[in-house]
Amino acid sequence: MKKYSNSAVFAMALAAFMVLIMVISPLASYFWGSNGDEDPAGQTDLPTTVPTPDNRRSLGEVGQLINHPFDSIADGLDMSPPGAVIANYVCTDDLEGTPMESLVYTTKQYDLYGTDISKAYRAAFWDGTQLEMDKLSPRKFAFGFIPAPIPYRGYPVLVRNKDMCSIMGDPCILGPRSKVEAAVDVIDDENASNSYPPFSALLEQVDLDAPYQIVAQNSRVAYQYYDAVRVAGDRCERTITCIGITENATACLNELAANTTDSIECNITFDQGDLNFTIARISGDFDAVMDVECLTP
């Protein structure tokens, strides 16, 4: 079994999605079915053309697909119904082969689709539900046996059990049916309310090109929190931007800045702009940068 470094384990905690991963991963094989060796009574496979040589199918065979920009955490929030309290976005393509590759661990859910995931977004909501969005690479996947799709707004809804369903596309959307349908309502109606506005003041002040991004509100770090992690050669750069930083997080950053080492460096600016942003730039060895536990939202 592959072992992961402490930083990989912490990365999962950093995103605050351990519960989400624990819920979704055990359901993956059930959600998408077996390898096709059995056909449970009452279930029918989707009609297909000739399968590809590797037995995966093109997204285009499903029917109407989701189509929305998916290049940052802002795009994920823009597709999410209102109420997201914490979310993260990962571009796995930009992390593979770098010192930050271990961050891909939480999004490389090959078993979920039978193909790799090039971009992923996960959000948790006030009501205790979660929503996942994934971009497949290549754009084909393995179904297994599933019940006949039940359409919603023309999109085939792939249902595997009473708790989980998915609508395929760019990106694919996975979660409870009510939450997935709410996301479709947001995507199809540009005037619908979504989860971006509560974070807009924060996100409009940051660069959204980082391959690893997190937002949270009312966390132990700050009223609002944005964390961007980038690769810089053989080093890691982490920029944390906060509105309403807590006293504990302030003390942590001050101590970190005062104890710069060869493996980690921290620079802080307080009270920036009209909203009094706190901006912390932490760089250095990947493990050291990611192991600043007091900055976990």
Query: What is the predicted pLDDT for the residue at 109?
Result: 57
Question: Which range of residues forms the domain containing residue 155?
Answer: 6-39+56-188
Query: What is the predicted pLDDT for the residue at 169?
Result: 94
On the question of pLDDT at 257 being above 70, the answer is yes
Query: What is the predicted pLDDT for the residue at 242?
Result: 95
Same domain, 80 and 212: no
Same domain, 259 and 167: no
Q: Which of 168, 188, 208 is the last residue before a domain boundary?
A: 188
On the question of pLDDT at 238 being above 90, the answer is yes
Query: What is the predicted pLDDT for the residue at 57?
Result: 79
Query: What is the predicted pLDDT for the residue at 11?
Result: 40
In terms of average pLDDT, the best of 39-43, 97-101, 288-292 is 288-292
On the question of pLDDT at 44 being above 70, the answer is no
Higher pLDDT, 116 or 189: 189
Query: What is the predicted pLDDT for the residue at 206?
Result: 94
Q: Which amino acid is residue 98, in one-letter code?
A: T
Burial of 180 per CB tally in 10 Å (0-12, 13-18, 19+): buried
Query: What is the predicted pLDDT for the residue at 60?
Result: 82
Q: Which of 119, 153, 188 is the last residue before a domain boundary?
A: 188
The 10s digit of each residue's pLDDT in 177-225 is: 999 999 999 999 989 999 999 999 999 999 999 999 999 999 999 999 9
Higher pLDDT, 291 or 73: 73
Least confident of 135-139, 192-196, 238-242, 260-264: 260-264
Looking at residues 263-287, what average pLDDT do you find? 90
pTM of the model: 0.80
On the question of pLDDT at 24 being above 50, the answer is no
On the question of pLDDT at 29 being above 60, the answer is no
- Per the structure, how many domains does the chain have? 2
Same domain, 161 and 67: yes
On the question of pLDDT at 16 being above 60, the answer is no
Looking at residues 5-29, what average pLDDT do you find? 36
Same domain, 178 and 97: yes
Query: What is the predicted pLDDT for the residue at 295?
Result: 84
Same domain, 173 and 221: no
Same domain, 240 and 275: yes
The mean pLDDT value of the chain amounts to 80
Instruction: Quote the CA–CA distance of 202 and 205 in Å, as a whole number.
Output: 6
The CATH number covering residue 217 comes to 3.30.1360
Tokens representing 99 are 């010192």
Q: Which of 171, 188, 205 is the last residue before a domain boundary?
A: 188
Same domain, 96 and 75: yes
Neighbour-count burial for 251-272, b at 16+ CB within 10 Å, e otherwise: ebbeebeeeeeeebbbebeeee
The 10s digit of each residue's pLDDT in 141-165 is: 776 666 777 899 999 998 867 788 9
On the question of pLDDT at 266 being above 50, the answer is yes
